[in-house]
Structure 1
């Protein structure tokens, strides 16, 4: 059964992961984020509890 032979597929998988981690990932991480996290403190809204008529 050729599906059980991991020889060509394991090599292809390892090469693709090495290509991703060594070449593609650093290039993607070098871009500046278009939506950086803000340094503002989050504002909390004052909410009133709902009064249920049957409680």
Structure 2
């Protein structure tokens, strides 16, 4: 789903999508850079090895 960038909805939607894809709680994903920009840097809290494995399973 595409959310407009109003009131942080797009940021929350991006964090929720990443959280769902990686199987973590939405609260584990935060925007650390680019909150008002098109390109964002997200931080995902959790075990780096487990997260890397889940990322690898998503595709090439």
Q: Taking CA–CA contacts closer than 8 Å with sequence separation of 6 or more, which of the two structures ends up with the larger relative contact order?
A: 2
TM over 0.5: no
**Greater CA radius of gyration, 1 or 2?**
1
| Higher-strand-fraction structure | 2
Report the TM-score, using the length of structure 1 for normalisation: 0.31
